[in-house]
Amino acid sequence: MRGLRATSHLFRVPLDHADPDSARIEVFAREYSSTEHSDDAVARLPWLLFLQGGPGGRGVRITQLSGWMKAAARDFRILMLDQRGTGLSTPADAATLDDLPSPQAQADYLAHFRADSIVDDAELIRRRLGSGPWTVFGQSYGGFCTLTYLSRAPEGVDRALITGGLAPLAGSPDQVYRATFTRVGERNAEYFGWYPEDRDRVTRIARHLDRVAEFLPSGERLTVRRFQMIGSFLGGNTRVHALHYLLEDAFTTTVDGPRLSAAFLEQVHAVVSRASQPLYALLHESIYCQGLPSSWSAARVLEEYPWFRDDAAEVLLTGEMVYPWYFEEDPALRPLRAVADVLAEKADWGPLYDADVLATNTVPAAAAVYRHDIYVDRDLSLATAACVRNLEVWETDEFHHDGIADDGEAIFERLLAMTRRGPAA
């Protein structure tokens, strides 16, 4: 495929790596390499494991090498993991979870789908491939997983590259949402400064939804608070400007007055539906939990930020936070409401990071921290970086959370070069 070689791999792994007698699931991975290398040359290249954002995001599917993957394929064979429960790995969704006898049993099963299990999968896969320590590149949640990798199995990592993905090492998810709600508010102000006409347009759409029943293609009524979820565009570097094109398509004229256009409703549905990524909604808050329950953290913290209310005089757009009403309004999530509640109150989450191991880390590591990131807060990221030995930070305001989609080649090459300077003294 246009200079790209792709090879599929399927691995059987334990559901619970701590219990060798536990059930087995499958984890799929696709190997990408450049046809500029011969088959023999590829076999000699070192491996690079890419850990995707999420949780619940499958590995990237590509048909040609571009961006960071084009840069990486010069020196590596790339393994793109479908993290457990996603893509072609054994699925974890409403249909498969329905086979379990109760919401508690479903929650017990899903407890094995966090970063610790993903890292244990990766280590098993590395050994089965016959690879020595490999380079790990983590984007967003993949960066969280990379920190877990450095905590649990640093012997398997040659170098660690992280972009937009330094998680707090301790504390409640509440600290995350307080920080990110603040940054989302700032990003709203920036966006409406660029597009002042959209300030009135967003509120007009919200008030229209109060009065008129508008339905998404999947059949459910679009509510104001679900419409606010299109604020996910705000986390983009160039994608943020696509929000303007979405909003300008909003209204069409009918004999009964203004209505939301079919094109607009189709585009909104693609943004707000979790049908293709149910694990994101189920596990999102748990990725910050170590010992304590989330207790629907984002919904609680939102009460401290009334300007995000759906009945505000000037409606604001929100980010990637997850709320319990998701599981009422999204048809794909309704069957999962009971297990979502169990997970929200789960109080015995295991540790994801080992602060002592990270404080003595010897693996060369580099992280891009995006100063105005609305999803992974800059201040919390820098606090984490200060606790990880041998981690060099590149802080920039040039990119937002999806920086590698904008100029992935330059970002990857910079991070790789930072890890080639040698270990810290």
Q: What is the mean pLDDT of residues 371-393?
A: 97
Active-site residue among 39, 99, 256, 348? 348
Place of tokens 């679900």: 226
How confident is the model over 131-154, as pLDDT tens digits? 999 999 999 999 999 999 999 999
Q: Is the pLDDT of residue 423 over 50?
A: no
Give per-residue pLDDT as tens, 393-415.
999 999 999 899 999 999 999 99
DSSP secondary structure code for residue 220 in this structure: P
- Per-residue pLDDT at 15 exceeds 70: yes
Helical ranges in 212-313 per DSSP H: 224-227, 242-248, 262-272, 278-283, 297-302
Structure tokens at 226: 């679900």
Which pair of structure tokens corresponds to residue 25? Answer: 């699931």
d(CA 48, CA 242): 32
For residue 55, cis peptide bond before it (omega within 30 degrees of 0): yes
What is the pLDDT at residue 422?
55
Is the separation of the CB atoms in 161 and 138 below 8 Å?
A: yes
Q: Is residue 13 predicted with pLDDT exceeding 90?
A: yes
**30, β-bridge pairs:** 8, 80
Per-residue pLDDT, 282: 98
Residues 244-289 have pLDDT tens digits of: 999 999 999 999 999 999 999 999 999 999 999 999 999 999 999 9
Mean pLDDT of 30-37: 96
Residue 265's closest CA among 328, 219, 300, 298?
A: 219
pLDDT band of residue 319 (cuts 50, 70, 90) is confident
212-226 pLDDT per residue, tens: 999 999 999 999 999
Domains in the chain, CATH or no CATH each: 4-169+353-419 (3.40.50.1820), 173-344 (no CATH)
Mean residue pLDDT of the chain comes to 96
The predicted-structure confidence for 47-66, as pLDDT tens digits, reads as follows 999 999 999 999 999 999 99
Contacts of 43 (CB under 8 A, 6+ apart): none
Strands (E), 220-338: 251-254, 257-260
Would you call 208 a catalytic residue per the annotation?
Answer: no
pLDDT at residue number 2: 83
- Quick one: average pLDDT of 359-384? 97
Percent of the chain residues topping a pLDDT of 90: 96
d(CA 312, CA 209): 14
Q: Which one of 120, 232, 401, 402 is the catalytic residue? A: 401
pLDDT confidence of residue 237: 85
pTM for this prediction: 0.95
Q: How far apart are CA 85 and CA 93, in angstroms?
A: 8
Known catalytic residue at 172? no
Please identify which of the residues 140, 273, 286, 294 carries the catalytic annotation.
140
Catalytic, 401? Answer yes
pLDDT, tens digit, 9 for 90 and up, residues 103-116: 999 999 999 999 99
pLDDT value at residue 415: 98
Take residue 18 and report the two structure tokens written for it.
Answer: 């701590």
User: Does the pLDDT at position 20 exceed 90?
Assistant: no
Going by C-alpha positions, the residue among 348, 343, 349 that lies closest to residue 326 is 343
